[in-house]
């Protein structure tokens, strides 16, 4: 086994360990070569990796496809004898009908009399975007759960707004918090008999304070 082959094999292992995918694309020949975490990034096995641009764009989310292709074409047009660096963010489609946010950085270069264009790209999972999506999903699910526990009214809106403020504070700290929801039956009956239920709710609150 040659030293070059060993070096490439170690590079591929390192890329897979870091959940990254490198590629070399010949613009003139319309040919891709991939190395690294093909399954984790593209969601396909090594033997089914894209070999041409038409193959690759099938993996890009339709809402991001046009902007990515325009950005790449614009940078290729501006590339000269010097290398042109770039950074892109977009989403890839997965077979499970989910999407994977990607950050792609790379270098575009032209060489030779025929001005052959070569793109060297490095694709990484956009972990920050995934974490933001998880927090938002968790927050929205929590909001819906609280919202469904109360009747419509200003009190519910005030409570949800207050919970939103607490959750935002929690995002900036490492502390944990808990919310106890107590369902009180026949509150409307208490209101009809006594005109209000503030004292009853106050007593329930005091009994459940930790």
CATH of the domain at 104: 3.30.450.20
Among 125, 148, 170, identify where a domain stops: 125
Q: Does 137 lie in the same domain as 57?
A: no
Question: Residues 6 or more apart from 72 whose CB is under 8 A from it?
Answer: 86, 88, 108, 119
Give which of 102, 95, 114 is closest to 26, Cα–Cα: 114
Count: domains in the chain: 3
Residues of the chain with pLDDT under 50: none
pLDDT at 155 (0 to 100): 63
Asked whether residue 138 falls in the same domain as residue 39, the answer is no
The structure's pTM equals 0.62
Are 144 and 111 found together in one domain?
A: no
Nearest to 56 by CA among 85, 32, 24: 32
Same domain, 53 and 36: yes
Are residues 151 and 196 both part of a single domain? no
Give me the pLDDT at residue 200, please. 73
Give yes or no: residues 166 and 71 share one domain.
no
Examine the domain organization and report whether 120 and 52 are in the same domain: yes
- 40 with 143, same domain: the answer is no
Q: Are 107 and 196 found together in one domain?
A: no
Q: How many Cβ atoms are within 10 Å of 70's Cβ, its own excluded?
A: 10
pLDDT at 133 (0 to 100)? 79
Domain holding 131, by residue range, is: 126-179
Residue 146: the pLDDT is 59
pLDDT in the model for residue 32: 93
83 with 113, same domain? yes
């Amino acid at each position: 086994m040659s030293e070059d082959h060993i070096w490439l094999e170690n590079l591929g292992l390192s890329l897979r360990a870091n959940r990254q995918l490198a590629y070399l694309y010949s613009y003139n020949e319309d040919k891709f070569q991939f190395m690294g975490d093909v399954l984790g990034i593209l969601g396909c096995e090594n033997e089914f990796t894209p070999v041409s641009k038409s193959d690759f764009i099938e993996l890009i989310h339709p809402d991001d496809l046009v902007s990515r292709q325009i950005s790449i074409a614009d940078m290729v047009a501006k590339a000269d004898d010097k290398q042109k660096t770039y950074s892109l963010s977009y989403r890839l489609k997965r077979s499970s009908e989910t999407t994977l946010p990607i950050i792609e950085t790379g270098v575009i270069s032209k060489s030779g009399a025929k001005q052959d264009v070569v793109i060297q790209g490095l694709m990484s999972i956009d972990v920050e975007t995934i974490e933001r999506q998880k927090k938002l999903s968790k927050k929205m699910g929590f909001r819906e759960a609280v919202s469904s526990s109360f009747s419509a009214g200003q009190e519910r809106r005030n409570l949800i707004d207050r919970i939103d403020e607490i959750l935002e504070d929690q995002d900036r700290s490492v502390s944990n918090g808990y919310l106890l929801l107590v369902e009180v039956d026949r509150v409307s009956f208490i209101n009809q008999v006594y005109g209000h239920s503030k004292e009853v709710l106050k007593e329930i609150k005091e009994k459940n304070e930790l």
